[in-house]
Chain A
Amino acid sequence: MKHARIRFEGAVHAVTVEAENAVRLADGRLIGESLVEWLPPATGSMFALGLNYADHAAELAFTPPTEPLAFVKSPGTYTGHNQITWRPDNVKYMHYECELVAVIGKPARNVKREDALEYLAGYTVCNDYAIRDYLENYYRPNLRVKNRDCTTPVGPWIVDVADVPDPSKLTLRTWINGELKQEGTTADMIFDIPYLIEYLSSFMTLQPGDMIATGTPEGLADVVPGDEVVVEVEGVGRLVNRIVSEAEFFAQYNKEA
């Protein structure tokens, strides 16, 4: 089953997703996708992995890490399926990152990897955009690169654990304007989801709604205003986002607030 958060007629609803992405509200009504605004399906902290695919680490000329490289993202950077993300003016390189995301379902502390999947609510997809111009070597990658307003699309929904029999054999793909730009498989992940849950929960309590974004394979490319960027994880979801200019984004963003 697929679970989502949506806005419909001004109110936020927790829904299940049915055929043709129609959503079922708690009161039983079935609403067509065209009437629905998709919201990020979870709103906890996101622990995002850097250099977690061997090919991507090589692409960036790094030796693969021996311990997970995790950085933290906060809810202000999340945005939902079919929303917009802004490219700042005067930067040379903004790239997408297609990632499988594990969503935590119950508090997890000192969890062993063989028990890890019991702590999951399910899986979703994110596009962990980065502005490489802003990379500095302090807490790298820092928030200016990775925690920008509405620069981490997440969703469209959470798929139950039972509906993804083998998360270590999923194809990841990214398209810009319909052209396939990135293709890889979760089989190439260095630290898999059970390992990451064991690692993080060994020193902190993961909370329901927290997410682990598991990193991206090679095949990055620049995106510019006007681009439609689609990231897909096989069997989990297809997440669509459109790039707009800084001026266009803030005209809308600060008007809505």
Chain B
Amino acid sequence: MSRALHDAATGTLFGVALNYKGLLEQRLAEFEQAPYQKPPVKPVLFIKTPNTRNGHGQPVVYPQGIERLQAGPALGVVIGKRASRVSAEQALEHVAGFTIVNEFSLPEESYYRPAVKAKCRDGFCVIGPELVPVAQVADPHALDIRLFINGEVRQQNSTANLVRGIPQLIAEITEFMTLHEGDVLITGTPEGRADVQPGDQVEIEITGLGRLANPIVAEQEAH
């Protein structure tokens, strides 16, 4: 992780689920049924606990005893100034810049209960490689996101397809919960998460934000 990002992104890591149109739309029929009853009204949020923090070039551990692990390419928004009850129009004034997040998760069959076991494992939130200031990104809602596994493109989308864009997310979240300087908002992972295996090299590229790379390694036997 570059020094600037290391200093800037020290707070809580907040994730947004179901924030790509393609992902939400493919589940809409299911979301009319039990246990959901109706599609989500407000942003569906989760927390990546501090033990999940990981950096560019660092190994991501494939835990023993799990069947599948998936990468989670996402645009990360780093908060630069405390945001409580800010409007969408003012939201970007509270942003320090953008970065890439690889929000690793076990596959999610259901969105009914909090996904702690799937998402809060050690090293499951890679952030980097650097913080790109807001002013250097012309339109954060027009960035290509590409996931590579061993050099091959496995997932591709655009931040144009976010259900809620960054200003709207910040406005809706800060209505009830302050975003503090250093907090990171993980704006969502598109549909089509790809499985990774020990030995894989996983990379995410987002237009103008660089390339975030990590090797997947098997968990060592406990002694």
Interface residues of A (CB under 8 A from B): 44-45, 47, 69-77, 88, 109-110, 134, 136-144, 147-149, 200, 203-207, 210, 250, 253-254, 257
Contact = CB atoms under 8 A, between A and B. Distances in A.
B63 A203 contact: yes
Contact of B84 (A141, A143, A149): A149
Contacts of B176: 88, 143-144, 148-149
A78 to B, nearest CB: 12
B119 to A, nearest CB: 9
B63 A70 contact: no
B50 A110 contact: no
A139 B115 contact: yes
Given A45-B50, A137-B36, 9 more contacts: A69-B113, A70-B116, A139-B44, A142-B45, A143-B176, A147-B45, A149-B178, A210-B49, A257-B82
A257 B114 contact: no
A257 B181 CA distance: 12
A204 B42 contact: no
Nearest to A110: B222
Nearest to A48: B114
B180 interface: yes
Which A-B residue pairs are the 7 nearest by beta carbons? Answer: A71-B114, A72-B47, A143-B45, A138-B44, A74-B12, A45-B49, A137-B36
A148 B116 contact: no
Interface in B4-23: 12, 14, 17-18
Given A45-B47, A138-B44, A204 B84 contact: no
16 contacts: A72-B47, A74-B14, A88-B176, A136-B44, A137-B37, A138-B18, A139-B17, A140-B113, A142-B45, A143-B177, A203-B121, A204-B51, A250-B84, A254-B84, A254-B85, A257-B84
B177 A147 contact: yes
Contacts of B40: 136, 138
B63 A148 contact: no
Contacts of A207: 50-51
A250 B47 contact: no
Contacts of B47: 45, 72-74, 143, 147
B70 to A, nearest CB: 16
B117 A250 contact: no
A76 B178 contact: yes
A152 B42 CA distance: 21
Nearest to B40: A138
A253 B83 CA distance: 12
A215 B46 CA distance: 19
A133 B82 CA distance: 27
B144 interface: no
A13 B177 CA distance: 26
